[in-house]
Structure 1
Amino acid sequence: MTSNLFQPIKVGKMTLPNRVIMAPMTRGRSGADGVPTATVAEYYGQRASAGLIITEATAINARGDGWPGAPGIYNDKQQAGWSLVADAVHKNNGRIFMQIWHMGRSVLSENIDGMAPLAPSAVAAEGQIPNSQGVPTDFDVPKEMTSEEISQTVSDFVDAAQRAVDAGIDGVEIHAANNFLIDAFLRDGTNKRTDAYGGSIENRTRFLLEVVDAVAEKIGSDRVGVRFSPTNGVFGIADSNPGALFSYAASQLSSRNLAYLHLLEPLGEGEHPMKTDVPSVSHLIREAYKGVLIQNGGQTPESASALIESGQAEAVAFGVPFIANPDLVSRYQSGAELAAPNPDTFYTPGPEGYTDYAPL
């Protein structure tokens, strides 16, 4: 298959050999201590032909760490585990960014010694999340963060980014999507603050920009990406004017010379679990953001190529297809049939449904 998907592109200081990006996908294989194992390293190493791997979301501190089996990057053991991953990817000539997150109001109090989760305001998330035993559990009402807690969290993002780079990871993607802490600060449905971090769009964007600026100052802006999900309604997250909010945020990021901006916004008529009835705002973000834009959300090679051709993206991220197809790039390039993943093993421990998918 001849396609602009397989043309190189410069992202930060790296030149990617293709524009097929591996999207971040939580897989739950790092155990209760959040330490990536040799099996995790094998998984990422198998997929190193992606133009860029973006890892699963990785916790910046214990207070924001609430998904069973998800990794962390806030202690020495976790950092050492990520060194295994970086080595495996680089050994296979790959490139890898770590997505770093604080889960905010989505953390269950049972996972943080009974403390209330942190959020911009005391607005509980809707729905349920698995607890440490895998039982679906209602969300707790979060605690509104103090200015001191906000400052400490910015520092924790910086420390996590430095640990990632020290582990050999090429850069970080700041997770500002999917209802988690930064996304909750951005949106007026969850941010009810009346101080400098609430109210106007400029104020609600303040926390995001403080995190981005502090991380960029520490590790270099060319090692930093950001992810948005502007029309995603997961766990009840919402905003009254996502077009104005995210185009403003994108314009602010555009001036900061980041590696990329990554959008999760399913486009077109296909089914996608993150798709909502809120009209797309990707075109507004494209107008505002002049750097490398990565689109993600149920794309096919054909739709991805069309996005690149039209200038709506410079690269496209694929998620689920990478699970069962470690050689996804070559399969797309040759037009080979894709293997189908087993959803029953998406989050289960061990190698089954993780590292046992064979290349062609």
Structure 2
Amino acid sequence: MSNKLLTPLNIGAFDLQHRLVLEWPLVADPLNAPADQLALPSDCLLSGGLIIHDPGALIWPERTSQLISDEDRIKSIWRTTMNNAKLARQSSVARLRGDIALQIPHRPNGILALTQHEIDKIIADYVDAAHRAKSSGFDGIELDSSFGSITDLFLMPSTNLRTDRYGGAIVQRLNFVLELVEALTQAFSRDRLGIRLSPFPRGFEGGRCKVYDDVLSSLRDQEIAYVHLELSEGFDTRVLKSAPPAKALRRAYPGIFVTSGQQSLQFAMDLVEGRWADAVCFFSPQLDAQFLSLLKHA
């Protein structure tokens, strides 16, 4: 059987030569990072693919202590990395982190206490981060809306106790993420924007999965490049193809699914062959020589 992982795929603006997505680790301080921490994989199999970076200090909001000269140096470092990626025909997106501790520090009540002005400021911070990513050479962005992120907190009724236009029924709890997606188009077109979600942090939780049915149904009209779903440990392709919550998610969003979480070659092949996912994301340290050798002979 041919390995569908190694067949071309169009993801929004990205024409990929294979369906293997690489997640590159967080670089908290690129000014002090070893040279190989920013180096991209050189294996020819990974050329023509998509890499998701977590560029850390480049995109964290409220970086008031960072000097302008440091910001320029960080951008210069990433521009060099992105230029190298383009030489390898790799597309690179920057993950915009959704860390609640960074975005609303000193707020024990979390999103409940946010004023409209503060919500507008958070969205503006994301847009500013997206512009910094673009000026640093990234081809697109991935909005981190995974479990525990500020977006996730707005979506879930257990953490969103607001009574204004951002709280209550799911149609209102969706307002934050939809406004955020719309605002990010100031920096990147929709076909260069992905979003990372965690519908299964503890397996098939009925209420959570139903929320994400609605989330994905709303995102299908946004015409973004892809949805990146984190999978819990213990899932296999038979579960994803047969379990009603998983089938409902796939029906809710007919666009491109990138999945991560179960990091094995066979699982990745089964997901793509079974058409539940279109591409599979691996954390970069797992792509060692032995793994790449398996892929070459798959």
Asked if TM exceeds 0.5, the reply is yes
How far off is 1:81 after superposition? 2.9
Deviation per residue, 1:57-99 (Å, 9 max, x gap): 646444499xxxxxxxx94443333213212322322121111
**Aligned twin of 1:301:** 265
Secondary structure at the aligned position of 1:294 is classed as: strand
Determine if contact 2:201/2:232 at 8 Å carries over to the other structure.
Answer: no
Is 1:41–1:85's contact at 8 Å kept on the other side of the alignment?
Answer: yes
Worse-superposed segment, 255-264 or 154-163: 154-163
Q: Does 1:167 align with 2:136?
A: yes
Structure 2: segments with no counterpart, 5+ residues = 65-69, 237-242
1:176 and 1:101 map into 2 onto residues whose CA distance is 8
In structure 1, what is the Cα distance between the partners aligned to 2:201 and 2:265?
23
User: What is the alpha-carbon distance in structure 2 between the residues aligned to residue 328 and residue 230 of structure 1?
Assistant: 31
- Tell me the residue number matched to 2:287: 325
Letter in 2 for 1:52: L
- Partner amino acid, structure 1, of 2:191: D
Contact 2:95 2:141 in 1 (8 A): yes
Unaligned runs of 5+ in 1: 66-73, 122-143, 271-278, 337-360
Summarize the Cα distance change of 1:205–1:304 in structure 2 as closer, same or farther, 3 Å threshold.
Answer: same
1:197 aligns with 2:166: yes
CA distance in 1, matches of 2:205, 2:132: 33
Q: Distance in 2 between matches of 1:145 and 1:64?
A: 20
Q: Shift of the alpha carbon at 1:37?
A: 6.5
Task: Output the amino acid matched with 1:56.
Answer: D
- Which SS does the other structure have where 1:218 is aligned? coil
AA partner of residue 283 (structure 1): K
The alpha-carbon distance between structure 1 residues 166 and 147, as it changes in their structure 2 partners (threshold 3 A), is same
| Deviation (angstroms), 1:254 | 0.9
From 74, 89, 93, the counterpart of 1:93 = 89
* Contact 1:226/1:261 (<8 A) preserved: yes
Give the AA of the match of 2:122: T
Superposed CA RMSD in Å reads 3.3
Give CA-to-partner distance per residue, 1:291-331, whole Å, 9 cap, x none: 11111111422222222222211111112xx3053568742
Q: For the Cα contact (< 8 Å) 1:205–1:249, is it kept in 2?
A: yes
Question: How far apart are residue 177 of structure 1 and its match?
Answer: 0.3
1:266 corresponds to which letter in structure 2?
Answer: S
CA contact (8 A) 2:98 2:145 kept: no
CA change 1:289–1:46 in 2 (3 A) is: same
Do the aligned residues in 2 keep the contact of 1:265 with 1:282 (CA within 8 Å)?
Answer: no
| Same amino acid, percent of matched pairs | 27
Structure 1 residues 289, 324: closer, same or farther in 2, change over 3 A?
A: closer
The answer to whether structure 1 residue 40 and structure 2 residue 2 are counterparts is no
Q: What residue in structure 2 maps to residue 145 of structure 1? A: 114
- Contact 1:251 1:289 (8 Å CA) reproduced: yes
Distance of 2:103 and 2:177 partners within structure 1? 23
Distance 1:328 1:87, change over 3 A: farther
Q: 1:56 to 1:296 in 2, by over 3 A?
A: same
Secondary structure at 1:179's aligned position in 2?
A: coil
Distance in 1 between residues matched to 2:23 and 2:115, nearest whole Å: 33
Report the CA distance shift for 1:220/1:242 in structure 2 as closer, same or farther (over 3 A).
same
CA gap 1:50/1:230 in 2 versus in 1, 3 angstroms: farther
| TM-score, with length taken from structure 2 | 0.82
Equivalent positions of 1:339-354 (< 5 A) are none
Q: Residue 313 of structure 1: which of 266, 272, 277 is its match? A: 277
Distance 2:34 2:181 in 1: 29
- Residues 172-215 of structure 1: CA deviation (Å, up to 9, x unaligned): 00000020111111112221111111111111111111111111
Cα distance change of structure 1 residues 266 and 280 upon mapping to structure 2, 3 Å threshold: farther
1:13 shift after superposition: 1.8
SS, match of residue 229 in structure 2: strand
SS of the residue 1:258 aligns to? coil
Report the equivalent of 2:19: 19
Q: Hey, what does 1:53 align to over in structure 2?
A: 51
Q: 1:217 to 1:91 in 2, by over 3 A?
A: same
Amino acid at match of 1:2: S
Q: Which amino acid aligns with 2:265?
A: P
Greater per-residue helix proportion? 2
Matches within 5 A, 1:1-360: 2-23=2-23, 25-26=25-26, 29-31=27-29, 38-42=35-39, 44-46=40-42, 48-49=46-47, 51-56=49-54, 58=56, 60-63=59-62, 75-104=71-100, 106-107=101-102, 115-116=106-107, 119-121=110-112, 144-232=113-201, 241-266=207-232, 268-269=234-235, 281-319=245-283, 322-325=284-287, 330-335=292-297
Query: Which sits farther off after the overlay, 52-61 or 212-221?
Result: 52-61
Tell me if structure 1 keeps the 8 A contact 2:61–2:125: no
Q: Distance in 2 between matches of 1:289 and 1:257?
A: 11
